[in-house]
């Protein structure tokens, strides 16, 4: 990683282009503690979507993300909560998006969500036929070693907070969750 920061597309942040990492700071000094971590798309041709940052949404690419780490719900209840917020449980379609989610989960490791957070993947229709609830293609995968293993009928997808790997999980477990929606232009 280069130690040379560059200016991001907004004020109050510093970027490392090799990683697409942009740190938003609360202070004018670069060495201030980062309030949030953002990954910006490599092309600035498209303007960033409006994601209601004041209400906890974060931007990556053309999507908005909200990390619900303050409450624990079953997979179904978590999905209902995301849908009520105009979103769905997160789908992950690229390594960059997985890194964005992993980086932001690292900021909430001390939350009461347990060891993982719910994502929108499931194989409840056909065992081993994983799909995203929002209809995105299930092409990118980042399984934890030995997963998916369908241990006692695990049909829902969670992401491990400590490393960002995926785990097939019991849908009734109570976990924090991540919502995702298209940003408004």
Lowest-confidence range among 1-15, 41-55, 150-164?
Answer: 1-15
pLDDT tier at 28 (50, 70, 90 boundaries)? very low
35 and 125 share a domain?
no
Q: What is the mean pLDDT of the chain?
A: 79
19 and 64 share a domain?
no
Phi first, then psi, for residue 101 (nearest 5°) are -65, -45
The mean per-residue pLDDT over the stretch 20-45 comes to 42
- The pLDDT value given to residue 11: 46
58 and 11 share a domain?
no
97, pLDDT greater than 70: yes
CA distance 152 to 148: 12
94 and 81 share a domain?
yes
Phi first, then psi, for residue 140 (nearest 5°) are -80, 135
28 and 85 share a domain?
no
31 and 49 share a domain?
no
More reliable by pLDDT, 113 or 40: 113
Residue 20 per-residue DSSP state:
T
Tally of domains in the chain:
2
54 and 141 share a domain?
yes
Kindly give the residue spans of alpha helices, DSSP state H, lying in the chain.
75-84, 95-106
49 and 22 share a domain?
no
The mean per-residue pLDDT over the stretch 165-173 comes to 95
CA distance 4 to 163: 26
14, pLDDT greater than 80: no
Residue range(s) defining the domain that contains residue 132: 45-182
Lowest-confidence range among 14-23, 77-86, 102-111, 168-177?
Answer: 14-23
CA distance 87 to 22: 24
4, pLDDT greater than 80: no
Strands 175-182 vs 63-73: parallel, antiparallel or unpaired: antiparallel
Using a cut of 0.75, tell me whether the model's pTM lies above it.
no
The mean per-residue pLDDT over the stretch 60-72 comes to 92
- The pLDDT value given to residue 185: 64
Q: Is 86 helix (H, G, I), strand (E, B) or coil?
A: coil
CA distance 167 to 54: 31
The number of residues in the chain equals 185
100 and 20 share a domain?
no
CA distances in angstroms from 92 to 11, 42, 150, 180, listed in the order given:
28, 17, 20, 10
Give me the CATH number covering residue 100. Answer: 3.10.100.10
Q: Which residue has the tokens 């969500």?
A: 113
């Amino acid at each position: 990683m280069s130690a040379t920061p560059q200016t991001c597309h907004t004020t109050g942040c510093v970027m490392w282009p090799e990683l697409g990492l942009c740190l938003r700071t609360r202070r004018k000094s670069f060495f201030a503690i980062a309030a949030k971590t953002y990954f910006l798309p490599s092309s600035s041709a498209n303007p960033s979507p409006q994601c209601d940052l004041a209400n906890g949404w974060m931007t990556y690419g053309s999507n908005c993300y909200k990390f619900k780490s303050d409450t624990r719900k079953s997979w179904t209840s978590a999905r209902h909560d995301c849908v009520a917020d105009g979103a769905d449980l997160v789908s992950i379609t690229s390594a960059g998006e997985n890194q964005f989610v992993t980086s932001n989960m690292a900021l909430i490791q001390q939350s009461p969500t347990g060891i993982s957070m719910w994502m929108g993947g499931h194989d409840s229709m056909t065992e081993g036929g994983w799909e995203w609830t929002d209809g995105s293609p299930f092409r990118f995968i980042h399984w934890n070693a030995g997963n998916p293993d369908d241990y006692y009928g695990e049909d829902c997808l969670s992401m491990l907070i400590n490393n960002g790997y995926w785990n097939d999980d019991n849908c009734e477990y109570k976990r924090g969750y991540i919502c995702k929606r298209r940003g408004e232009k």
